[in-house]
Structure 1
Amino acid sequence: MTMTWLLVRRYRLPLLCWTALVTALCSTPSAYQSAYATAEQRRTAVVLAQNNPASTLVYGRLPDPGTAAQMFAWEIGAFVTILTAIMAVVVAVTLTRTAEDDGSLELLRGCGVPPMRPLHSALVILAVQSGVLAVACTGAVLATSRTADGVTGAGAAAFGAVVGLTFATVAAVTVLLAQVAATAGQARLLGFTALGAAFAARAIADTRHLGTLNRLSPLGLRAVTGPFTEDRWGALLPGLLAVVILGGTAVLLCARREFGAGLLPRRDRRGGRLRIRTTVGLAARLARPALLSWTVAVAAIGTLFAAMGSGTVEQQRDGEVGGFLGSQLGAGDPAAEYLAYCGTVVGIVVSTYAILSILAGLRAEDTGRTGLVLVTGVRRWAPTAAQAVVTAAGCLVVLTITGVISALITPSVLDGDDIGPRSLAYTVGQWPAAMASIGCATLLVGAFPRLSGLAWLPLLASSGLALLGELLGVPRRIQDLGFFRHVPDVAGPDPHVTPLLVLIAAGAVLVLLGAAGSTRRDLRAG
Structure 2
Amino acid sequence: MSRAQPTSGSGQYRRLIRLVLRRHWLMLGAWLGGLLLLVVITAPAYETTYPELSQRTFMVESLRANTATTLLYGPLPDPGRLGQLLVWETGTYVLVLGALMGILLAVALVRRPEDEGTLELIRSTGTAPWVPAAAALTVLIGQCLTLGGGAGLILWVQAQRIAELTESGAMAFGLLVSAVSLVFALIAVVCCQLAADARTARSWALIVLAAAFLARAVPDATATLDASHRAPVTVLHWISPLGWAQVVAPYTDDQMGPFLAFGAAAVVLLGAGLGLSARREYRSGLLARTRGSSARMRVRSPLAFALRRGVGSWVGWTVAVVGLAALFAGMSSGILELIEGSDATAQIVQQMLGEGSVTSMFFRMTAMFGGILRAIYAVGTVLRVRADEREGLLDVELTTGRRRWEPLVAALLTAAVGSLVMLLLAGGVTALVAQGQLGDEAALDETLGYLVLQWPAALCLAGLATVMVAGLPRLSWLMWALVTVSATLAWLGGLLDPPQWLMDLVVFEHVPDLSVGEPEFWPLGVLAGIGVAGLLVAVPLMRRRDLSRA
> CA distance change for structure 1 residues 394 and 500 in 2, over 3 Å: closer, same or farther?
same
**Residue 139 of structure 1 aligns with which residue?**
153
CA shift at 1:436, angstroms?
2.8
Determine if contact 1:123/1:247 at 8 Å carries over to the other structure: no
Question: Does structure 1 residue 190 correspond to structure 2 residue 204?
Answer: yes
The CA distance in 1 between the partners of 2:376 and 2:168, in whole Å, is: 35
**Conserved 8 A contact 1:299-1:405:** yes
The answer to whether the aligner puts 1:211 opposite 2:233 as a matched pair is: yes
| Structure 1 residue 175 corresponds to structure 2 residue 198 | no
Partners of 2:248 and 2:256 within 8 A in 1: yes
Change (3 A) 1:449 1:148: farther
Q: Distance in 2 between matches of 1:383 and 1:113?
A: 38
Confirm whether residue 17 of structure 1 aligns to residue 41 of structure 2. no
Match of 1:496 among 520, 525, 535: 520
How far the C-alpha of 1:330 sits from its partner, in A, is: 6.1
Which amino acid is the alignment partner of residue 263 of structure 2? L
Cα distance in 2 between the residues matched to 1:407 and 1:44: 27
Q: In 1, are the aligned partners of 2:364 and 2:450 still within 8 Å (CA)? A: yes
Q: 1:100 to 1:325 in 2, by over 3 A?
A: farther
Between the aligned partners of 1:422 and 1:143, the Cα distance in structure 2 is 44
Pairing 1:270-349 to 2, within 5 Å after superposition: 270-319=293-342, 322=345, 332-349=356-373
Paired residue type of 2:33: A
Paired residue for 2:177, among 163, 172, 182?
163
- The answer as to 2:462 corresponding to 1:438 is yes
Name 2:477's counterpart in structure 1: 453
Residue 473 of structure 1, CA deviation = 4.2
The one-letter code sitting in structure 2 at the alignment partner of 1:39 is L
- Rate the CA distance shift 1:247–1:70 in 2: closer, same or farther, 3 A: same
Tell me, yes or no, if the aligned pair for 1:96 and 1:122 is still in contact at 8 Å: yes
1:263 counterpart letter in structure 2: L
- Alpha-carbon offset, residue 55 of structure 1: 2.4
Partner of 2:60: 46
Residues of 1 paired with 2:354 and 2:337: CA distance?
Answer: 14
Structure 1 CA distance for aligned equivalents of residues 405 and 129 of structure 2? 37
What TM-score results when the alignment is normalised by the length of structure 1? Answer: 0.91
SS of alignment partner, residue 523 of structure 1:
coil
- Aligned residues of 1:101 and 1:260 also touching (Cα < 8 A): yes
**Is 2:70–2:220's contact at 8 Å kept on the other side of the alignment?**
yes
1:421/1:490 contact within 8 Å kept: no
Match of 2:384? 360
Structure 2 letter corresponding to 1:500: L
| 1:465 aligned residue | 489
- In structure 2, the gaps of 5 or more residues are 1-12, 224-231
Q: In 1, are the aligned partners of 2:378 and 2:462 still within 8 Å (CA)?
A: yes
CA distance, structure 2, for counterparts of residue 112 and residue 150 of structure 1: 56
8 A Cα contact 1:328 1:467, kept in partner: yes
Q: 1:264 aligns with which of 284, 287, 290?
A: 287
Residue segments in structure 1 that go unaligned for 5+ positions in a row: none
What is the CA distance between 1:514 and its match in structure 2? 4.4
Name the aligned partner's letter for residue 295 of structure 2: G
1:30 matched to 2:68? The reply is: no
Q: Shift of residue 504 of structure 1? A: 1.8
Contact 1:357 1:391 in 2 (8 A): yes
Q: Deviations over 1:363-409 (max 9, x none)?
A: 21122111123334433333323222222222112222222233333
Inter-CA distance 333–320: structure 2 relative to 1 (3 Å threshold)? same
Find the counterpart in structure 1 of residue 506 from structure 2.
482
* Among 80, 84, 97, the residue aligned to 2:111: 97
State how far apart, in whole Å, the 2-side matches of 1:441 and 1:18 are: 21
For the residue of structure 2 that corresponds to 1:484, the secondary structure is helix
Contact 1:400–1:428 under 8 Å retained in 2: yes
SS in 2 for 1:305: helix
Q: Higher mean Cα deviation, 323-332 or 364-373?
A: 323-332
Superposition deviation, residue 143 in structure 1: 4.4
Query: For residue 13 of structure 1, what is the amino acid of its counterpart?
Result: L
Residue among 393, 400, 411 paired with 2:435: 411
Cα distance change on mapping 1:331 and 1:201 into 2, 3 Å? farther
Q: Residue 8 of structure 2 corresponds to which residue in structure 1?
A: none
Equivalent residue pairs, number: 526
Which one of the candidate residues 370, 376, 399 is aligned to 2:423?
399
8 Å contact kept, 1:89–1:170: yes
Deviation at residue 116 of structure 1 after TM alignment: 5.0
Structure 2 CA distance for partners of 1:35 and 1:523, relative to 1, 3 Å: same
Q: Which residue of 2 aligns with 1:254?
A: 277
Residue identity opposite 2:190 in structure 1: L
* C-alpha separation in 2, matches of 1:14 and 1:439: 23
**Do residues 130 (structure 1) and 144 (structure 2) align?**
yes
* 1:146 shift after superposition: 5.5
Aligned position for 2:261: 238
Evaluate the alpha carbon distance shift between residue 421 and residue 181 of structure 1 in structure 2; reply closer, same or farther with a 3 A threshold.
farther
Who wins on radius of gyration, i.e. which is larger? 2
Q: Distance in 1 between matches of 2:352 and 2:512?
A: 15
Give the letter aligned to residue 316 of structure 2.
S
Question: TM-score normalized by structure 2?
Answer: 0.87
Q: 1:427 to 1:172 in 2, by over 3 A?
A: same
Distance in 1 (alpha carbons) for counterparts of 2:119 and 2:416: 32
- The answer on whether the counterparts of 2:114 and 2:120 sit within 8 Å (CA) in structure 1 is yes
C-alpha change, 1:136 and 1:205, in structure 2 (3 Å) is same
- Segment of structure 1 superposing worse, 140-149 or 346-355: 140-149
Secondary structure of 2:139's counterpart equals helix
Corresponding residue number in structure 2 for 1:224: 247
Q: Give the alignment's Cα RMSD to 1 decimal.
A: 2.7
Q: Is contact 2:389-2:549 (8 Å) kept?
A: no
Corresponding residue to 2:91 among 77, 81, 88: 77
1:101 and 1:219, CA in 2 relative to 1: closer, same or farther beyond 3 A?
A: same
How far residue 133 of structure 1 moved from its aligned partner, in angstroms, is: 0.8
User: Does structure 1 residue 4 correspond to structure 2 residue 28?
Assistant: no
Amino acid at match of 2:220: D
CA 1:519 to 1:148, structure 2 compared with 1: closer, same or farther past 3 Å? Answer: farther
Q: How far apart, CA to CA, are the structure 1 residues paired with 2:470 and 2:179?
A: 37
